[in-house]
Chains A and B, each alone.
Chain A
Amino acid sequence: MTAPTASTPQTKPIKPGVIGWLGSLADAAMAAPGAYRQALRRHRRRTIILTVLLILAVIYPVINREFFQAYNRSSSFPLPFPEDAVVTFMMIFCIMAIGLNIVAGFAGLLDLGYVAFYALGAYTAAFLASPHFGSVSLVLFSNVPPGFPGIHLPFWMLVPLGFAVAATFGVLLGAPTLRLRGDYLAIVTLGFGEIVPVVFKNLSAVNLDFGPIHLVNANLTGGNLGINPIDPPRFFGISFGSSSGIAAVYLGMILLVGAIVIARNLERSRMGRAWMAIREDEIAAEMMGVNLVRTKLLAFGLGASFAGVAGVMQSSYQGVTTSDFFMFSTSILILIMIILGGIGNIWGVIVGALTLTFLDKTFLPYLGQRFQAISPDLPNPSQFNFLIFGILLVVMMRFRPEGFIPSRQRAAELRHAPAGQAIGSAAVMGDAALASEELADTLAAEQVVEVETEAAVAADEAAEAEPPKDTP
């Protein structure tokens, strides 16, 4: 141990405010080519691979459409190449996986109701860019003709609004759960994830007489039918909606790049360290001066905001949003994405999101078609998607528990943790595996219920068709 030294941090003078920030951005931009050459010298192989991957990612949508899809249209033996819509949804799910990774991966707070924030974002866009509230007409910077019924805000306004709404609700949900850990936290978030879509489903005929508010049979959320048509994203007169093909993919890609940059910057900051400290040892973190309330709420709020943006993208892109899109299964799907990909690592969760979206929306339906072509009696794998994901998860837990691209930390924890010491991520993964098993049961039960409900409805209708005997 050496003698104590006085603290003299060396910092160069900084210009304050926006000008200083712009200046430093310019500095960074000027330094970028040099930094790239240096990276090329130091980690030659890694840099080249990353560059190639980046270029491939950027040109992939074009190649996919021009070659892969073209091949599928003309060939008698199509291959599982994703449609443009699927690629767009890959971007949306990547954004959500990155957001959930902040809550569950960085801060170690297991959130099983993440889909609620996706729904909040989607309905924010649906309310503010559709003819749904037809009794008013508010057209703001939008391509919609003036006087058109409903509220119409442009996409670039909806994104920050979706961000803010989801973040607000993230904080609201976080507040009552602050004292909860592990299983208890998971249950409360699970409840919230169920409540939000049900609220959106049921606010279709609201009667309320409360103070100055008088609602008579007000259709706030469109009920089971949801809300449509929602304005597609539009920039410079060009639509980026579902009919636009790869334009929407690139819009999603831009949002995804934004999400990556934000998440990376947060990870390498004072807040990121505080989140990880909480994950590692909450009591020690608090004793070292980390404000638990503020830090946890920030994780909930910022994590949720990513799902809010993803929701805005979803409803603007599809032009329709209904509460059926926001089932519990989606929460679990995103959780499986980050666990398979490598919880805690942004690149890992992106790989997880890409893989699972591909499996769910392209590969399993494709297998189903191939099976049907062989024999109509063969099962359709896309109906068993959660069974397959569950098996995949179990296999991963056995052979590579840290995920495809693990964070260094998680790999160490899971590979070298002393026996009997259940640490954060291991617990999260165990819970998720359990949850996916439970989900399979729930889904099976729900199907039974649906069948029963249909039978009951049919019986009711039959009863009504028969006129009651003693009516005057």
Chain B
Amino acid sequence: MTVPTLTGDLRTGVLPEDAVIVRARGVTKRFGGLVAVNSVDFDIPRGAIVSLIGPNGAGKTTFFNMITGAYTPTDGEISFDGKALITKSRNRVRSKKPHEVTALGIGRTFQNIRLFGTMSTLDNVRVGLHVHMRSHWWDAVLRTPGMRAEEQASIDRGMELLELVGLETRADVWARNLPYGDQRRLEIARALATKPQLLLLDEPTAGMNSSETAEMTSFIRRLREELQLTVLLIEHDMRVVMGISDRVTVLDYGEVIAEGTPADVRANPRVIEAYLGRGAAAGA
């Protein structure tokens, strides 16, 4: 896969179809009377780092959950790498199941860390490898050579991924006993184990101090460069967002209110209004 050049206008609807990895059109999610996401159009350019920002309750995580299949949209279309994730028959909207979406190549982390607490660090990563392993239960019962080779390969690959995030010395430690920053990195390693093309990071620097945040920022940038990943980021820390994003999309009350380069968005009066209120926007 070649990484396309990421110069020029990266806004939704501008790039040709093959340069876009996720394409969402008219995506709406209603929870009863509440419209959490309202008719959002959204493209993620291949190889880009795109940030989704917005005040609390703007619908960022809901949008995330619709891409990963955790929620089925009320309406709209989402395709990933040219494959439709949402299908409509008559009036019924169906979404691919989360494990199917994972198998297609979307990995994610969680806002509040969700590791498998009493499994070892290595086994957490190996659960991420599960989706690409092929041995059946009868292979496990008989311990066939193929199954054992696959297990060994999963250990080797798991250790590589732990090395990548700097946790190789803690392979036998339970995930719940790791310090907070390590748990965040383990979540990324586990997501990488699913061999994603697109990595969804839900507030990866939440609760980190400034040096940890800087380290995470450069790590995300390196992931994109060295593993040719596309990254969609939900983030509240504006230094992170402005520092690494190729494009920023701002949601407010479930609608896209601004989209563009970090500099564009920063200067957009509607964004300032959404974050700081009308008076501040008028003063700016």
Q: Residues on A close to B: CB < 8 A?
A: 1-5, 7, 9-12, 14-16, 20-21, 23-24, 262, 265-266, 268-274, 276-277, 280-281, 283-292, 298, 302, 408-410, 412-413
Q: Residues on B close to A: CB < 8 A?
A: 68, 70, 97-99, 102-103, 108, 110, 114-119, 123, 126-128, 130-133, 135, 137, 139-154, 156-157, 160, 163-166, 174, 176, 185, 190-191, 193-194, 215, 219, 222-223, 226-227
Shortest Cβ gap from A276 to chain B (Å)? 6
How would you classify the secondary structure of chain A's contact residues: helix, strand, loop or mixed?
A: helix
Q: Give B195's nearest chain A residue, CB to CB.
A: A7
Q: Give A344's nearest chain B residue, CB to CB.
A: B118
Q: Give B146's nearest chain A residue, CB to CB.
A: A14
- In the complex, which of the residues A11, A20, A268, A302 has the most CB atoms of chain B within 10 Å of its own CB atom? A11
Apart from A21-B142, A281-B116, A288-B128, list 6 A-B contacts with CB within 8 A: A5-B164, A9-B157, A266-B141, A273-B127, A277-B130, A283-B70
Q: Is the CB of B226 within 8 A of A4?
A: yes
Which of A1, A3, A273 makes the CB contact (< 8 A) with B130?
A273
Q: Is the CB of B118 within 8 A of A1?
A: no
- Name the B residues within 8 Å of A302 (CB-CB): 137
Shortest Cβ gap from B191 to chain A (Å)? 8
The 28 sampled A-B contact pairs (Cβ below 8 Å) are A1-B185, A2-B163, A3-B226, A5-B164, A9-B156, A11-B152, A11-B153, A12-B149, A24-B144, A266-B140, A269-B135, A269-B140, A273-B127, A276-B123, A277-B116, A277-B130, A280-B117, A280-B119, A285-B116, A285-B127, A286-B99, A287-B98, A288-B102, A288-B190, A289-B132, A291-B99, A412-B118, A412-B174
Q: Is the CB of A276 within 8 A of B119?
A: yes
- Name the B residues within 8 Å of A24 (CB-CB): 143-145, 148
Which of A11, A272, A274, A280 makes the CB contact (< 8 A) with B118?
A280
A24 vs B150: C-alpha distance in the bound complex, in angstroms? 15
Q: Give A287's nearest chain B residue, CB to CB.
A: B98
Q: Give B215's nearest chain A residue, CB to CB.
A: A1
- Name the B residues within 8 Å of A272 (CB-CB): 140
Q: Is the CB of A269 within 8 A of B102?
A: no
Q: Is the CB of B116 within 8 A of A7?
A: no
A28 vs B113: C-alpha distance in the bound complex, in angstroms? 41
A280 vs B123: C-alpha distance in the bound complex, in angstroms? 12
Q: Give A22's nearest chain B residue, CB to CB.
A: B145
Q: Is the CB of A273 within 8 A of B126?
A: yes
Q: Is the CB of A15 within 8 A of B117?
A: no
Shortest Cβ gap from A24 to chain B (Å)? 5
Q: Is the CB of B98 within 8 A of A21?
A: no
Closest 10 CB pairs of A and B: A289-B131, A269-B140, A289-B102, A9-B153, A409-B118, A284-B114, A280-B116, A1-B166, A4-B226, A14-B145
Shortest Cβ gap from B175 to chain A (Å)? 9
- Name the A residues within 8 Å of B131 (CB-CB): 288-290
